[in-house]
Amino acid sequence: MTQPAFAPAAHDGGHLARIAAPEGVAPGTGYSHVVWGTGRFVAVSGQCALDEKGEVVGEGDAAAQARQVFENLRRCLAAAGAGFEDVVKLTYFVTDVAHLPAVRAARDEVIAPHLLPASSAVQVAALFRPELLLEVEAFAIVPART
């Protein structure tokens, strides 16, 4: 059995590698098709636009909610010793795909273009509170502790 040929990957200089467009796959817009690495796996539950008191931030405003979601993700990642540079996968749940540009803008404020994770976006009928417009979950790989 022959080993698969791997396309050149963009490395972050450390524990992760990314392939924006594997051979024969159309390039994605704003994400990497493949991300892999070595280290500790970190899963962050879906985050919504809730502040530390559980109050909705930015009711009716997708951009404000997206900024709060990414701030919550930042705090959760930090609790695990991770940062956005360690994120390998984001999953977006939006009540309307029209919110995706606001979500991407908030993401682009915290993740450099050469470090884009793999991503999926799903339109959902509703989230657990009617005033919430989006939820984002994250998977990260943090360098193994020595």
HSE-CB for 16 with a 13 A CA cutoff: 26
Of residues 84, 89, 69, the one with CA closest to residue 134: 69
What is the amino acid identity at position 135?
E
31 falls within a domain: no
- Specify the CATH number for the domain of residue 117: 3.30.1330.40
The CA-atom distances, in angstroms, between 42 and each of 62, 94, 120, 125, 145 are 26, 23, 18, 28, 13
pTM summary value: 0.88
Range of the domain at 99: 39-142
Q: Residue 14 in 3-state DSSP? A: coil
Kindly report, residue by residue over 99-109, the tens digit of the pLDDT. Answer: 999 999 999 99
Number of domains forming the structure of the chain: 1
Provide the pLDDT for residue 55.
Answer: 97
Amino acid at site 63: A
Give domain status of residue 132, yes or no.
Answer: yes
Q: What is the mean pLDDT of the chain?
A: 91
**pLDDT score recorded for residue 10:** 56
Is 62 a member of any domain? Answer: yes
pLDDT digits (tens, 9 = 90+) for 40-86: 999 999 999 999 999 999 999 999 999 999 999 999 999 999 999 99
